[in-house]
Amino acid sequence: MSEIVYIGVDDTDVLGSPGTGKIARGIAEMLFEKGLAKSLGVSRHQLLVDPRVKYTSHNSCKGIAVITDNFPVVLVKPCSDYIKDHFQPGSDPGLCICSEKNITPEILAYSVKAETEFIQKDEAYTLVSGKDIFLTELGGDGGGVIGALAAVGLRAGGNNGRLVDIRGVRDISGKISVMEIKFRTDIVAVSDIDGNELSNLEIVESLSWIRPNLVNGKPVLKVILSEELTNVEGKRIWIPAEREMKMTKGDKNE
């Protein structure tokens, strides 16, 4: 019987190297190629930025949701091996794997806490102790377990982060209708930042960067009206809201 399993990955990179997002996408692809699981998307989640926290650039962790007929333990070795083969020396990678049925209110609360409060890894280990949840260090000082567990909880919560990889989003460029976005990707809706859903005939200038948010567990692309493009085109043109936020914050491409 199929079930949803959440995989959290954190702190696999160093400055100037490919980010953890690339490793998370690689894990999702590897599991599919091995016939072990099908990815429901890779998500980015922002954790606390604080001098006490060791992080590479922005302290984001990555969550992967997969659907699988296998027990979660079957995914442990291939995911661990993939990280060991691809993480950057000098980083402190951590991995967490947890089935949907084992997500508890305490895990969800821990994950929300990690967004704004300083956490030490002992707290993460205490939380999963005695539970059917895999949490391990794979290099360095292992501090990545903190974000790996947080990634699992934030992804499972269904209303946090942006999806950096789901079907079709990395193949879209130029102007595209809402209808075509939904046809070519797993995005279920396109809405403005107030949550008002756009009609299928509205046009989005993708700027070659379509990254939906998780809304009630579903991929929803949030857009804002572009006054500049609207004036030029003589009609309403929308642009991805998350891209504008990324450019403002200086996030690296993920």
Task: Specify the pLDDT at position 53.
Answer: 66
Q: What is the mean pLDDT of the chain?
A: 89
89 pLDDT tier (thresholds 50, 70, 90): confident
Quick check: 121 and 143 in contact, CB under 8 A? Answer: yes
Dump pLDDT digits (tens) for 166-208.
Answer: 999 999 999 999 999 999 999 999 999 999 999 999 999 999 9
Render 106-137 in DSSP notation, one character per residue: HHHHHHHHHTTS---HHHHHHHHTTSS-EEEE
Predicted confidence band of residue 141 (pLDDT cuts 50, 70, 90): confident
Contact 254, 19 (CB under 8 A): yes
- Quote the tokens at residue 110: 């821990």
C-alpha span between 229 and 24 (Å, rounded):
34
Nearest-5° Cα angle at 145, 139 to 150 = 150
Burial class (CB in 10 A: 0-12, 13-18, 19+), 159: exposed
If you average pLDDT over residues 123-151, what whole number do you get?
94
Q: What residues does CATH 3.30.70.2200 cover in the chain?
A: 3-162
Q: What is the pTM of this model?
A: 0.90
pLDDT > 80? residue 4: yes
pLDDT digits (tens, 9 = 90+) for 91-116: 889 999 999 999 999 999 999 999 99
Mean pLDDT, residues 34-55 taken together: 85
* Beta strand extents in 100-217 (DSSP E only): 134-137, 162-165, 175-177, 189-192, 203-205, 213-215
> CATH fold of 3-162, please?
Alpha-Beta Plaits (3.30.70)
What is the tens place of the pLDDT at every residue in 52-87?
A: 666 555 788 999 999 999 999 999 999 999 999 999
Q: What is the dihedral of CA 230, 244, 213, 146, to 10 degrees?
A: 180
First to last CA, the chain: 33
- Residue-level pLDDT at 250: 43
What is the 8-class DSSP label of residue 90?
T
Which pLDDT value is given to residue 249? Answer: 45
